[in-house]
Amino acid sequence: MEPSPTSKPSLLDRLSAMISGEPADRDDLLALMHSACERNLIDTDALSIIEGALQVSDMQVRDVMVPRAQMDVVRIGDSIDKIAHFAIDTGHSRFPVVGESKDDVLGIFLAKDLLPYFVGCPFDLRAALRPAVFIPETKRLNVLLREFRVSRNHMAIVVDEYGGVAGLVTIEDVLEQIVGDIEDEYDGVDLDDNIRLLQGSRYRVKGTTELGAFNDAFAVQLHSDDVETIGGYVIHHFGRVPQRGESLQIEGLRVRVLRADSRRILALVVEPLPPGDAAGG
């Protein structure tokens, strides 16, 4: 069926009109997408997602996984109260459960499975475990994403060539390579787009938060001629991109890295220091 004379041309029609043939390779395709963006046929967000989707086929699990040393795990012998407080403190919804060491992964525990216990139902951690999925650190991200979608699994344990646990990866880690930082159920109450209350006096702060907004929110006077964001300020302080879990103390605040990749800080947890520890950084 031919389109009616009054119908608007589709994106495909407009893109096709821009070129005389099909893209020969990925570089040609990206050049076409950039040209489409320059002509306002697609916006920059769409272009970024397309580039991210193409990039994941070149990336391996080891490029985005949470390393073994930074894995938050539950021990099989932990008490229920300890597990509950640990889940609240870390803010994760899934945890590997281990025996004697992180190489001894017994299964995956979902924090929501604790809910029946708090209304009086019996709880057995071993019985609540979901099977753990083990994958090699060399697996391509596009293949892993497909497997996550088919299995509806959201976490995998990454193993090295010797069978030892090298880290873990979640579906969120993969998707963030395509669409950028993803907010989740732990992101708390909105104060503005960048600073969110978690609980008590603890806040989640995006790394892209401008220093001025950070200063206003926490009544501090951070300043740097070299950077404009709190993520940049923390990186400048360390002299490198810090890893998840690393922290510093500045002007009566403890600032801990919540999420980071190899290039930038994505999110921080900020909380006031106890009065005795509130020394400036």
Residues 245-264 have pLDDT tens digits of 788 999 999 998 887 776 78
pTM: 0.57
pLDDT at 6 over 60: no
Dist. CA 93–CA 101, nearest whole Å: 21
More confident site: 2 or 48:
48
Helix (H) or strand (E) holding 26: helix 26-38
The residue whose two tokens read 């993969």 is 174
Give the contacts of 216 (CB within 8 A, at least 6 positions apart). Answer: none
What is the side-by-side strand order in the sheet with 74-75?
A: 74-75, 94-98, 105-110
pLDDT at 186 over 50: no
- Same topology, domains 62-179 and 189-277? Answer is no
CB 260 within 8 A of CB 230: no
110-136: b (≥16 Cβ within 10 Å) or e: bbeebeebeeeeeeebeebbeebbebe
User: If pLDDT is split at 50, 70 and 90, which confidence band does 7 have?
Assistant: low
Task: Give burial (CB, 10 Å; 0-12/13-18/19+) of 81.
Answer: exposed
Which pLDDT value is given to residue 165?
93
Q: Where are the domains of the chain?
A: 14-58, 62-179, 189-277
Q: Within 61-124, where are the H helices?
A: 80-90
- Structure confidence by residue, pLDDT tens digits, 52-111: 777 777 788 888 888 888 889 999 999 988 998 888 888 788 999 999 899 999 999 999
Which pLDDT value is given to residue 31?
76
| β-bridge mates for residue 248, sequence order | 255
More confident site: 73 or 192:
73
Q: What is the CATH number of domain 62-179?
A: 3.10.580.10
Sign of CA dihedral 236, 224, 191, 49: negative
Q: What is the mean pLDDT of residues 13-20?
A: 52
Dist. CA 67–CA 264, nearest whole Å: 17
Helix (H) or strand (E) holding 234: helix 230-238
pLDDT at 159 over 90: yes
Task: Report residue 97 CA to chain centroid gap.
Answer: 21
pLDDT at 24 over 70: no
Give the residue from 277, 260, 274 showing the smallest Cα distance to 205: 260
Q: CATH: 1.20.1050.140, 3.40.50.300, 3.30.465.10, 3.40.50.720. Which one for 189-277?
A: 3.30.465.10
Which pLDDT value is given to residue 277?
61
The CA R_g of the chain, rounded to the nearest whole Å, is 23
pLDDT at 160 over 50: yes
User: If pLDDT is split at 50, 70 and 90, which confidence band does 191 have?
Assistant: very low
Which pLDDT value is given to residue 110?
92
The residue whose two tokens read 């907004």 is 213
Mean residue pLDDT across the chain: 81
Q: How many CB atoms lie within 10 A of CB 84?
A: 15
